[in-house]
Structure 1
Amino acid sequence: MTRISINEELLIARAAGSLSAPMRMLVDTHAAMNIQIAEAVRTAEASAAALLKEEPPAEMAENALDIALAAIEAIETGAGEAAGLKPVAARAAVKAVDAAFAELMDLPEPVRERALEAGAGWRFAAPGVRRIELISEGDAKAELLRIEPGHGSPSHTHEGNEFTLVLAGAFSDGIGRYAKGDLCAVDGDTTHRPIAEPGETCFALAVTDGSLKFTGPLGAVQRLFGG
């Protein structure tokens, strides 16, 4: 496991639009927490814009305007339908998730926005651990994790890569310690067991491009069922 910062390769990929949506969320969230990362993102965007000006303009389809207007109309129609909840039902829905929303408000953008859009719908991941799936694209997935002190994930490795950005609190995994603002990277060569430290609840943004592979007895069960 490595404590890292957003590197130039990721910044260039983001500016070029070739970064997956989950990885873009990772970069943008880290930038929201770190002024140096934010400045590096702006520099990469400026460089990409300068290069783009040198490219010949692409031809647009004759019906491009019609397509754009139809997309806007679809979005506005959907928003209108969502806003058409009856007052009683709307108040009940707000009350049911009020507490969950409150603890999300201190988290950085764009995680906070996406989690609120998901209705603060926490799901069980492990004892003391809840998750909200924020966005997925192909094999890449971004999740918000809520880890109670003393709890965490069973020992595991990965089929692909995992980036974890600590948004609040801290966790240790027997290899390193990660506090608010720390970003760590894991690949298939690393086995670890992240556990939230005592005190503050740990919130983390986890971006993966492959499944977890559990070790020990839980791994045997996973393999038994074809995981």
Structure 2
Amino acid sequence: MTLISVDDELIAARASGTLSAPMRLLVDTHAVLKTDVAAAALMSDALSGAFLEGMPAEPMAENALDIALAAIDALESGAGEAAGTQAISRKAAAAAADSVLSELLQLPEPVRDRALEAGAQWRFAAPGVRRIELMREGDATAELLRIEPGHGSPSHTHNGKEFTLVLAGAFADGIGRYEKGDLCAVGEETTHRPIAEQGEICFALAVTDGSLKFTGALGAVQRLLGH
């Protein structure tokens, strides 16, 4: 199934703060790639803000000022400077980076920043496929995938939902074709085999709330190992 944009339910959940961090990253990145998603997210944020303004104010804790001043002292004592230095160091590293960092710098800002914060270290996922785990919260995981043309994942289904947002290049999974800005959403009932198209390397943001279940011989091995 190909989704041109995330649905209203996800956008509303993002505005209300009920989305997991990996799903927020998915929606924020999609908003960078699709103007309609950005517009919907902006509208949802505005509506949520108006709703909050209409709610009665909550009383502040008696020590609220002390907490705020302590936070300011922590920033002035070095935490804030460290954050600024980290940003400067990241830019300096990127300027002198090799092809790995050069590729990451071409990706949408939310994913790019998370990948750099995660150390920009690609790990083996499958032949022709590398991954960087960006974040994890509960059962939800966000990963950046780098898929060489003609390569991809073995045939599989899922223990939950899987959202794959194409950041560059394109892939097909036997059900549909997905290019930059397209969001592929599948559930437990779907079996597919994503393979990157020939030509450009495919980069994708994958967010799952459950593990993959492989089919065929690989599935038999997975079941034998108890996964």
Report the TM-score, using the length of structure 1 for normalisation. 0.89
- SS of 2:28's equivalent in the other structure is helix
Letter in 2 for 1:99: S
Matched, 1:109 2:109: yes
Distance, in Å, in 1 between the alignment partners of 2:196 and 2:84 is: 37
- The Cα of 1:210 is off from its aligned counterpart by 0.3
Distance, in Å, in 2 between the alignment partners of 1:98 and 1:78 is: 29
Percent identity among equivalent residues? 68
Distance, in Å, in 2 between the alignment partners of 1:212 and 1:66 is: 48
Matched with 1:123 is: 123
Distance, in Å, in 2 between the alignment partners of 1:78 and 1:65 is: 19
Matched with 1:202 is: 202
**Comparing 177-186 and 98-107, the one that deviates more:** 98-107
Instruction: Please tell me whether the aligned partners of residues 2 and 178 of structure 2 are also in contact (alpha carbons under 8 angstroms).
Output: no
Matched with 2:157 is: 157
- SS of 1:207's equivalent in the other structure is strand
Q: Deviations over 1:4-37 (max 9, x none)?
A: 5211111111111111111111111000011111
Matched, 1:77 2:79: yes
- The Cα of 1:63 is off from its aligned counterpart by 2.5
Matched with 1:226 is: 226
Matched with 1:20 is: 20
Matched with 1:33 is: 33
Matched with 2:132 is: 132
Matched with 2:43 is: 43
Q: Deviations over 1:154-204 (max 9, x none)?
A: 111000000110000000111111011100101000001100000000000
Map 1:89-100 → 2, pairs under 5 A: 98-100=98-100
- SS of 1:110's equivalent in the other structure is helix
Report the TM-score, using the length of structure 2 for normalisation. 0.89
Letter in 2 for 1:195: I
Matched with 2:144 is: 144
- The Cα of 1:226 is off from its aligned counterpart by 0.9
User: Cα RMSD (Å) of the superposition?
Assistant: 2.4
Distance, in Å, in 2 between the alignment partners of 1:219 and 1:57 is: 54
Distance, in Å, in 1 between the alignment partners of 2:128 and 2:63 is: 53
Distance, in Å, in 1 between the alignment partners of 2:25 and 2:66 is: 30
Instruction: Please tell me whether the aligned partners of residues 144 and 203 of structure 2 are also in contact (alpha carbons under 8 angstroms).
Output: yes
Distance 1:132 1:44, change over 3 A: same
Distance, in Å, in 2 between the alignment partners of 1:148 and 1:185 is: 21
Q: Deviations over 1:49-108 (max 9, x none)?
A: 111111111122223343344455279438639959xx9xxx9x8799532111011111
- SS of 2:19's equivalent in the other structure is coil
Matched with 1:66 is: 66
**Comparing 114-123 and 1-10, the one that deviates more:** 1-10
Q: Which runs of 5+ in 2 are unaligned?
A: none
Instruction: Please tell me whether the aligned partners of residues 94 and 101 of structure 2 are also in contact (alpha carbons under 8 angstroms).
Output: no
**Comparing 67-76 and 104-113, the one that deviates more:** 67-76
Letter in 2 for 1:155: S
Matched with 1:217 is: 217
